[in-house]
Structure 1
């Protein structure tokens, strides 16, 4: 994979548009951006607010890296929206058609080869945990990391949910909120990369992602995480060491 290249004008313009808005709402602290690899990487992050893409995306842009979010392929077929997503070099995700999924993987690999960052929310949606801890992840991020060989970097953050709580209609701008984002050590899945891409291997890699995100959020919150992890399918917490390879839950090619 090659080193990072200059961030495209469209992404820089979008970042410049949202940066002043975020500055009004939050007092930010970014930690560890200088530790990011020079080549393309996959960023996995916890999901606590609809503002997350803006908050995390701005940090990635500020590091000198082009962010590429995964988006449903159906969005790329919407007039204007699809064209904008394509110009901003975002990655379409196809869930059902194998050929389209392979094309999505090619797009993601191309972004990584250009030194960009693929940003993934492993949970697949805003956390349903009542206390906003990271919940059980899907296997898409693990699949992409094992398929491409790209470094897997945890981005944990906390505070933006105080501006816009999950599913809230209106933001709370006053008083100004504190926001912290922390880049963690690469998640070690080196022992899994040479193995066949079985459901068990995907489940093991996914559990390591869950652990990295939970530990990182615990550091930012200064709290101990719950002993169990929230499982959206069961609507309750389940043991963290219970590896369950579930079919049909991939969120990336």
Structure 2
């Protein structure tokens, strides 16, 4: 029996989110069979709208997995919301993006023992690329995958910007929007297994993941991404945001 079929708080969240999202969005999935239905996995989507977590959370449900995210530890202390996040197995991340707190490590290890999926935005925040292509990634996703020995599955989505534009807080409810979601093959990180997780290793592994996400997005958009990936540090832009 799949995790999604077992009674959980996700049933309550789904009863609220799925009908509402269905009124606004039609999902069009590509290569959905590539999403592993069992076993621990790190799912890495592109990120360009504030409503991405809702969109990707619902899409992940439709793809057969329960959506769990890296969540700022402070959010888990908020009344009601924090309780929901804790009960649904979200992984707390301390300020600065560390996953080395005892709570985070315990939650991360549960990914393996309970064969769960976790969604990590490797860009860390909304992309700053002017044309909404994926920007330079952070190492959190690959560090988690390499430390725990679990696969990274890249995912790209396109069309979410019509539902909520980048940096906007306004939802464009009508007309109903089509969002394409494409799942990729697990990223081959075997060359990094057993190596010290230093900056060189993590940067190279993260680049492979970002290349995979970008290739999926190129397929959805029908165009090529820029040869050089946008680097916020070179444009004096903040990279603060999600893990």
* TM-score > 0.5, shorter chain as reference: yes
Counterpart in 1 of 2:126? Answer: 126
Q: 1:50 to 1:115 in 2, by over 3 A?
A: same
In 2, Cα distance between equivalents of 1:55 and 1:63: 12
What SS does the aligned partner of 1:126 have?
coil
Counterpart in 1 of 2:63? Answer: 63
What SS does the aligned partner of 2:155 have?
strand
Q: Is the 8 A contact 2:136 2:210 kept in 1?
A: yes
Q: 1:13 to 1:147 in 2, by over 3 A?
A: same
Structure 1 length normalisation: TM-score? Answer: 0.87
Q: Is the 8 A contact 2:125 2:242 kept in 1?
A: no
Counterpart in 2 of 1:11? Answer: 10
Structure 2: runs of 5+ lacking an equivalent: none
**Are 1:33 and 2:51 matched, yes or no?**
no
In 2, Cα distance between equivalents of 1:164 and 1:24: 15
- Structure 1 moving runs of 4+ over 6 Å: 248-251
Structure 2 length normalisation: TM-score? Answer: 0.90
Which structure shows the bigger proportion of residues in strand conformation?
A: 1
The C-alpha deviation readout for 1:132-181, integer Å capped at 9, x for no partner, is 00001111111101101111000111001111001213222233222100
In 1, Cα distance between equivalents of 2:46 and 2:58: 16
Q: 1:251 to 1:158 in 2, by over 3 A?
A: closer
The C-alpha deviation readout for 1:104-144, integer Å capped at 9, x for no partner, is 02202203431221100101111111110000111111110
Q: Is the 8 A contact 2:43 2:152 kept in 1?
A: yes
Q: Is the 8 A contact 1:7 1:65 kept in 2?
A: no
Counterpart in 1 of 2:150? Answer: 150
Q: 1:58 to 1:169 in 2, by over 3 A?
A: closer
Structure 1: runs of 5+ lacking an equivalent: 237-247
Aligned counterparts, 1:80-229, within 5 A: 80-95=80-95, 101-229=101-229
